[in-house]
Amino acid sequence: MPKTPKTKPKTYPKKQSKKTNSKMPTHTVSITKSKFYWIVLTVVAIVCMAILGFTSNIPIQKVALIMVTVLSVLGLAGYVRVKSSNLSNKMRATYLFVGAAVIGFGIWAIMLILLTETGLGVQVANSLGDQLFIISSQVIFLVIGAFVGEGLGKNMTFQSFVSKIRQKF
């Protein structure tokens, strides 16, 4: 039978490695993922456009149309950046592009044709200016189309329909 030692071997505590601050995230967090950032950016944009319109003596309806145009683009960018999606980035970008290019442009073209046929287009263009009205309305409807495309991308029924079409080709 082996002898047991009379004294216990000394156990030294293991050296603890220097920990970096455990509260710090391991990856860099982007400021553009914060809703607060987009809210502050929107408020700053509104204030700057209002001051610019006031100091430049631009009519209020033109300033309002420019504000809606800029804020719609900011809204889309903020939504895409903050809101997560179940789609890959490539598929999400495809749905946004198709929504803007097909749906948004289609809605804008139909609106333009209706305004031209009813005669309201001339009145709107005279009060706002041709270029401002055309560019602003087109940007706004492209953004609306992109939101519709994003909604279609999240719709599981539509995704199953698209996958059936892909299988046929």
The alpha-helical segments, DSSP class H, found in 24-104 are 35-55, 60-82, 89-98
Question: Residue-wise pLDDT tens for the chain (169 aa)?
Answer: 566 666 766 676 666 555 555 565 566 678 888 899 999 999 999 999 999 999 999 999 889 999 999 999 999 999 999 988 888 889 899 999 999 999 999 999 999 899 889 988 888 888 888 888 889 999 999 999 999 999 888 887 777 887 888 788 7
Whole-number pLDDT of residue 67: 93
Provide CB contacts within 8 A for 68, sequence distance 6+. 136, 140
Whole-number pLDDT of residue 27: 67
Contact 154, 92 (CB under 8 A): no
> How far, rounded to the nearest angstrom, does the alpha carbon of residue 29 sit from its chain's CA centroid?
17
Whole-number pLDDT of residue 103: 93
